[in-house]
Amino acid sequence: MGSKRDDRPAEPRQRAAVGRVRRILRRVRYYAEEYYNAPYRATIARARRDEDDLFMLLVFSEMMGVPNPASYYTMELQPLLMERFHDWHKRMGMERSPLDQIRCC
Amino acid sequence: MSAIAVLLLGLAGLTAGYFLYAHFIAKRVFQLDYGFRAPAHELEDGIDYVPTNKYILWGHHFTSVAGAAPIVGPAVAVIWGWVPAFLWVVLGTVFFAGIHDAGALWASVRHQGRSIGSITGDLIGNRARNLFMVVIFLVLLMVNAVFGVVIAKLLVANPSSVVPVWGAIVAALVIGQCIYRRKMNLLTVSVVGVVVLYALIGVGPYVPLELPDSFAGLPANAQWIVLLFAYAGIASLLPVWALLQPRDYINGLQLCIGLIVLYGSILIANPAIVAPAFNSSVPASAPPIVPLLFVTIACGAISGFHGLVSSGTTSKQIDRETDVRFIGYFGAVGEGCLALAAILATTAGFASIGEWQNLYTNFGEAGVNAFVDGGAALVSAGAGLPESTAATLLTVMAVLFAGTTMDTGIRLQRYIMQEWGEMYNIPALKSVQVSTLVAVGTCLALAFGAGGLDGSGGMLIWPLFGTTNQLLGGLTLLVLTVILVRLGRPMWYTLVPMLFLLAMTLYALLVQLKGFYLNGEWFLLGMDGVILVAAVMVMLEAAGALRHQFREQRLAS
């Protein structure tokens, strides 16, 4: 595209051209994906969070006195979900942690 | 007069508006600050508040505000001649819509990205906020009813567009599955999607589909209206990724292609405008140009609906406060360009003035069909497509727009109804199914109630829709004026448009009230009455709020 003649042999020149096309495509794809996702990001993220919240309830249900036949398995997940526990109980409208065993705030 | 000259004049006006007036407003009135921490950063949560690239944000702000309304309004309004419509679109966009849209966006950015309705509650009072909700509900109700009627008319007039229109919905459903479930590459899918859409448009004229003349006592037009509302109801219940998201995306691409084709065709064909500059022989059924012009063209000049988009979603994603000018004001300019294209298609797309007059024999009758006919003649002259294909192309463009607005509208109506269910504790209204049914039912009642069983009179609601929309615009401008007065900034740039808009709206409502009374259209008379009450209440709120502000300021000084 420049006014200078490219004196490099054919192969590197082609490789550079392919690289340029790839870069342009990547840029176009970024814009297309953003354009596709941005308007609905909130709705979809909220739906996903609702599902996650239900999962939290399942995992911590035994502690709240709700029998859960899968508690033997979900127990293992508790430490993994600890990080999200505080946000979760706040979102569920409980200012303080509802569980005596877990004092996050 | 050459269409190119008018086109360039219009674009020059809009460009000057963006570079001069918007610059002034951004600097002196809104005083946009690059360093201000926008809600997208302040409250970033990865869900609602996400900083977004300004070009992308402009893209979907523009596609959510641009719909069939900036096509229908100008297409109806050119009955008074092209000059009044042209002037109102250009001046309205520059001095009304731009500042309204950008202002709503700015106000929301300065109030944690909240909606104008909730800001109204804080600044003016709860009564004003409730009024806001009622007006929004009325706007949605009317826009859904009118668009149902518009689409039905288009599908009856152009049977060749039936296959591409419904095919596009199937294509969108497939695209949704491909992307969400199969995680396919978006670029490939979009190229395939666009190719399929245009292939369907090419096939359409060979497989025209018509509904039976009468089914269960309903004529074809009415059958389409019922089918469309059934579709809109179902579509509004589906998860957004299944239909809404892919269809909006394809629509956005289609809008760009359609605008390029239309503008390109005008530039290549350079048709002459056959319609009169000022129509001296306006049909007797047409209402007076002042004030009706200002409510017939709402979207495309100024539309209160934009404020909802600006302050509901866009403001939560804006990266920098300075982007307000580009996204808000330039979004309005984009819509003005669409309205300009509609004016040119409906005035320059005909061979002679006789042909044009034949179409514009009654107020509200030609509308979007004139856009399709005129636009098809332009596209076939400019781009060399067969006229039937060009007509299918434009019908599909208009129908898909109107369809998107319809199911989004039903969804929003449902949200409002559910909120009312919460507020007044009516358990039935809280349920998704019941509220959707009520939303669809009220829209259907309006579509049929306005014009008998065949639903053909639904277009009579168009100016009423315009008045409600302007009322909403007036409310937003009121909130903006109150904010500016509080900050001690110049208020005339929002106050004058507000006064003009409210005066025209009130005047139009009274003119229409008289018309409905004389014609014995009692249903529409009732609707007009409801909107009139809302308008008077808006004005009282406006006067009260401003007086309060001025008094406080006087006391402070």
What are the structural domain ranges in chain B? 3-556
What is the Rg, in whole angstroms, of the alpha carbon atoms belonging to chain B?
22
Cβ contacts from A onto B, under 8 A: 55
CA distance B56 to chain A (A): 6
Cα distances from B120 to residues B29, B467, B535, in angstroms, run: 20, 20, 16
- The model's pLDDT over B404-445, given as tens digits with 9 standing for 90+, comes to 888 788 888 888 888 888 888 899 888 889 999 999 999 998
Bigger pLDDT: B205 vs B67: B205
Query: Residue A37's closest chain B neighbor by CA?
Result: B245
What residues are paired with B214 via a beta bridge? Answer: B219
CB contact under 8 A, A32 and B187: yes
Q: C-alpha dihedral over B393, B394, B397, B401, to 10 degrees?
A: -160
**Burial of residue B63 (number of CB atoms within 10 Å: 0-12, 13-18, 19+):** buried
Interface check B229 vs A, CB under 8 A = no
Handedness of CA B507, B508, B511, B514 (dihedral sign): negative
Q: How many CB atoms within 10 Å of residue B34?
A: 8
CA distance B185 to chain A (A): 9
Task: Name the residue type at position B327.
Answer: I
Nearest Cβ partner for B252 among A29, A35, A41? A35
Cβ contacts of A39 on chain B, cutoff 8 Å:
60, 64, 245, 248, 313
Q: What share of chain B is helix, strand, coil (3-state, %, to 5)?
A: 80, 0, 20
Which are the contacts of A76, defined by CB distance < 8 A and separation ≥ 6? none
CB contact under 8 A, B179 and A36: yes
Work out the pLDDT band at B269, boundaries 50, 70, 90. Answer: very high
Cβ contacts of B59 on chain A, cutoff 8 Å:
35
Residue B508: per-residue pLDDT: 94
Nearest Cβ partner for B245 among A31, A36, A49? A36
Handedness of CA B369, B370, B375, B378 (dihedral sign): positive
Residue A4: per-residue pLDDT: 60
Q: Are B177 and B239 in contact (CB under 8 A)?
A: no
Interface check B52 vs A, CB under 8 A = yes
Q: How many residues in chain A? A: 105
Cβ contacts of B249 on chain A, cutoff 8 Å:
35-36
Which are the contacts of B142, defined by CB distance < 8 A and separation ≥ 6? B446, B461, B464, B465, B468
- B residues 236..255 contacting A (CB < 8 A): 239-241, 244-246, 248-249, 252
How far is Cα B444 from Cα B463, in angstroms, rounded to an integer? 18
Q: Are B302 and B501 in contact (CB under 8 A)?
A: yes
Which are the contacts of A60, defined by CB distance < 8 A and separation ≥ 6? A78, A81, A85, A99
Q: Are A61 and A68 in contact (CB under 8 A)?
A: yes
Work out the pLDDT band at B77, boundaries 50, 70, 90. Answer: very high
CB contact under 8 A, A35 and B59: yes
CB contact under 8 A, A38 and B317: yes
Cβ contacts of B186 on chain A, cutoff 8 Å:
29, 32-33, 36
Cβ contacts of A49 on chain B, cutoff 8 Å:
47
Interface check B317 vs A, CB under 8 A = yes
State which of B82-91, B141-150, B273-282, B359-368 shows the largest mean pLDDT.
B82-91
How far is Cα B109 from Cα B481, in angstroms, rounded to an integer? 16
What is the Rg, in whole angstroms, of the alpha carbon atoms belonging to chain A?
26
Q: Is the previous residue joined to B212 through a cis bond, with omega within 30 degrees of 0?
A: no
CA distance B22 to chain A (A): 25
How far is Cα B25 from Cα B22, in angstroms, rounded to an integer? 5
Query: What would the mean pLDDT of B106-111 be, rounded to a whole number?
Result: 95
Query: What would the mean pLDDT of B465-493 be, rounded to a whole number?
Result: 92
Residue A3: per-residue pLDDT: 54
Query: What would the mean pLDDT of B249-272 be, rounded to a whole number?
Result: 90
Residue B455: per-residue pLDDT: 64
How far is Cα B80 from Cα B175, in angstroms, rounded to an integer? 43
Task: Name the residue type at position B177.
Answer: Q
Bigger pLDDT: B407 vs B382: B382
- B residues 156..215 contacting A (CB < 8 A): 179, 185-187, 190
Bigger pLDDT: B172 vs B1: B172
* Helix (H), strand (E) counts: chain A: 4, 0
Nearest Cβ partner for A42 among B47, B179, B246? B47
* Residue from B245, B309, B408 whose CB has the most chain A CBs within 10 Å, to mutate: B245
Work out the pLDDT band at A1, boundaries 50, 70, 90. Answer: very low
pLDDT at residue B453 greater than cutoff 80? no
**Burial of residue B138 (number of CB atoms within 10 Å: 0-12, 13-18, 19+):** buried
Task: Name the residue type at position B245.
Answer: Q
Residue B454: per-residue pLDDT: 67
What token pair was written down for B457? 């009179």
Q: Percentage of chain A surpassing pLDDT 90?
A: 13
What residues are paired with B219 via a beta bridge? Answer: B214
pLDDT at residue A50 greater than cutoff 80? yes
How far is Cα B476 from Cα B497, in angstroms, rounded to an integer? 11
CA atoms within 13 A on the CB side of B448: 16
How far is Cα B287 from Cα B359, in angstroms, rounded to an integer? 17
- The model's pLDDT over B318-345, given as tens digits with 9 standing for 90+, comes to 999 999 999 999 999 999 999 999 999 9
- The model's pLDDT over A68-93, given as tens digits with 9 standing for 90+, comes to 888 888 888 888 888 888 888 888 88
Burial A64-78 (b: 16+ CB within 10 A, else e): eeeebeebeebeeeb
**Burial of residue B163 (number of CB atoms within 10 Å: 0-12, 13-18, 19+):** buried
For chain A, list residues whose CB is within 8 angstroms of any CB belonging to chain B: 25, 28-29, 31-36, 38-47, 49
Cβ contacts of A51 on chain B, cutoff 8 Å:
none
Interface check B555 vs A, CB under 8 A = no
CB contact under 8 A, B317 and A47: no
In which region does residue A67 sit, left (phi positive, over 0), alpha (psi from -120 to 50) or beta (all else)?
A: beta
Cβ contacts of A84 on chain B, cutoff 8 Å:
none
CA atoms within 13 A on the CB side of A77: 17
Map residue B2 onto helix, strand or coil. Answer: strand
Residue B203: per-residue pLDDT: 94
The kind and range of the H/E element at B179 are helix B162-180
Bigger pLDDT: B169 vs B66: B169
* Phi and psi torsions of B218, nearest 5°: -105, 135
How far is Cα B501 from Cα B484, in angstroms, rounded to an integer? 18
**Burial of residue B416 (number of CB atoms within 10 Å: 0-12, 13-18, 19+):** middle
CB contact under 8 A, A32 and B190: yes
Cβ contacts of A25 on chain B, cutoff 8 Å:
187
Nearest Cβ partner for A36 among B47, B186, B316? B186
Cβ contacts of A28 on chain B, cutoff 8 Å:
187
Q: Are A80 and A52 in contact (CB under 8 A)?
A: no
Interface check B80 vs A, CB under 8 A = no
CB contact under 8 A, A45 and B239: no
Q: How many residues in chain B? A: 557
CB contact under 8 A, A32 and B252: no
CA distance A9 to chain B (A): 32
Query: What would the mean pLDDT of B54-68 be, rounded to a whole number?
Result: 86
- The model's pLDDT over B496-542, given as tens digits with 9 standing for 90+, comes to 999 999 999 999 999 999 988 998 888 889 989 999 998 898 889 88
Nearest Cβ partner for B186 among A32, A40, A42? A32
Q: Percentage of chain B surpassing pLDDT 70?
A: 99
Q: Are A46 and B241 in contact (CB under 8 A)?
A: no
CB contact under 8 A, A39 and B313: yes
What residues are paired with B2 via a beta bridge? Answer: B272
Q: C-alpha dihedral over B297, B301, B302, B303, to 10 degrees?
A: 50
CB contact under 8 A, B245 and A39: yes
